[in-house]
Amino acid sequence: MDSPVTQAQYATQLSDDTLRDMYRAMLLSRRLDERCWALHRQGKIAFHVSAIGHEGLQVAAAFALNRGIDFTYPYYRDLAFCIALGLTPLDFMLSVFGKAGEPSSGGRQMPSHWSSREKHIVSQSSVVAVQVPQAAGTAFAINYKRKVGLLAADDTTQPRLAYASVGEGGTSQGEWHEAMNWAGIHKLPFICMVENNQYAISVPFDKQSAVPLVERAHGYGVIGVQVDGNDVFATYDAVRAAAERAYTGEGATLIEAITYRLVPHSSDDDDRSYRTREEVQEWKQKDPLLRFQAELLNQGVLTQARIDAFEEAIQASITEAQQQAEAAPDPDIASGLSGVYAEETI
């Protein structure tokens, strides 16, 4: 594991307004997530996959990138990451209700399969981990443009790196290894964030790997960093330092963020069959949202009055989004093949 990254302390340069924006994004993700669990139990939506417990590392990562400019390949658990990139409660509600105006696929994909040309979120497949080689390929294209003079390394208006996230279970897929090897060989401007939440659905991490994931980095010739994913400041530092290396041509970084999902894998999973309630309760004491809130209160960045105001405004926005999504039209069946085949005119 490489250590210089954690000494960067970029997070100390974050303004109070930015820290409050980060807290608000985490809180919005948590409350939106909780509402979706309730909607599923009420039988109003068919499926939900949760980001609860991952909010800290995801928001930290998004804020450490050049948001809306750098290319991102998030995976299905990245609700908080996408909110930090600009996803709205209505966007997500349209997704879970499968409505026609849903921005990622017009209601054709499962929810949490993100896509936004405007926000530079690249459309993803449902197949686990295939977003990683796609992101490495994008990083190769960025590298190539630099080499032939089509992209200046200091041009902040253009994408200068590709970021992919994946669960630790996804690193057992061959595609992940191929992408990391490619990134090391070509010294790509690439960041792979592994959100290690300890379980690949029901398989514990010690049944997936004999070594910490971060130790694999040297085998691929990339920098490896392990970070406490429930620590917003530490994760921000790690991603920001990785971004700076990518921007300056120093190559790729594998970040293993240690975290825990505080709820089942998805709305269709019963986690009582593979982990104890005591273990879950222990990790709830490390909840990244409550931890960040306590840190900001201690610094005087937040007050209880401001927290209450955030809560009230966020709950109102989620309720409004839910009502709009429930009232929105379903996708037109006649448009089922739109966007699947080229529409050629003769």
What pLDDT sits at residue 3? Answer: 47
Question: Of all helices (H) and strands (E), which one includes residue 236?
Answer: helix 232-247
- Cβ(59)–Cβ(7) below 8 Å: no
What pLDDT sits at residue 341? Answer: 79
Tell whether the torsion through CA atoms of 227, 229, 232 and 238 is positive or negative.
positive
Average pLDDT rounded to a whole number, residues 166-194: 97
Average pLDDT rounded to a whole number, residues 177-185: 98
Is the pLDDT confidence value at 315 over 80? Answer: yes
What pLDDT sits at residue 108? Answer: 82
Taking all residues of the chain, what is their mean pLDDT, rounded to a whole number? Answer: 94
Greatest Cα-to-Cα distance within the chain, rounded to the nearest angstrom: 67
What span, in angstroms and rounded, lies between the C-alpha atoms of 226 and 193? 10
Between 104 and 327, residue with greater pLDDT: 327
**What are the extents of the domains in the chain?**
11-330
What pLDDT sits at residue 105? Answer: 86
**CA 345 to mean position of chain CA atoms:** 39
Average pLDDT rounded to a whole number, residues 214-230: 97
Question: What confidence category does residue 288 fall into, taking pLDDT thresholds of 50, 70 and 90?
Answer: very high
Per-residue burial over 150-181, b if 16 or more Cβ lie within 10 Å, else e, is ebeeeeeeebbbbbbbbbbbbbebebbbebbb
- Cβ(324)–Cβ(95) below 8 Å: no
Active site residues: 261, 265, 274
Average pLDDT rounded to a whole number, residues 306-328: 98
Average pLDDT rounded to a whole number, residues 300-322: 98
Beta bridge partners of 163: 72, 191
CA angle 147, 123, 237 (to 5 degrees): 65
Task: Supply the pTM of this predicted model.
Answer: 0.95
Tell me the CATH number of domain 11-330, given options 3.30.43.10, 3.60.20.40, 3.40.50.970, 1.10.287.3510: 3.40.50.970
What span, in angstroms and rounded, lies between the C-alpha atoms of 257 and 336? 39
- One-letter amino acid of 58: Q
Is the pLDDT confidence value at 117 over 70? Answer: yes
The alpha carbon torsion through 306, 229, 265, 283 (nearest 10 deg) reads -80
The alpha carbon torsion through 90, 91, 92, 93 (nearest 10 deg) reads 40
- Cβ(201)–Cβ(265) below 8 Å: yes
Measured CA to CA in angstroms, residue 242 lies from 2, 78, 258, 344 at distances of 11, 19, 17, 43
Burial status of residue 210 (CB atoms within 10 A of its CB: 0-12, 13-18, 19 or more): exposed
Question: What confidence category does residue 8 fall into, taking pLDDT thresholds of 50, 70 and 90?
Answer: low
- Cβ(52)–Cβ(290) below 8 Å: no
- Cβ(43)–Cβ(326) below 8 Å: no
Is the pLDDT confidence value at 169 over 70? Answer: yes
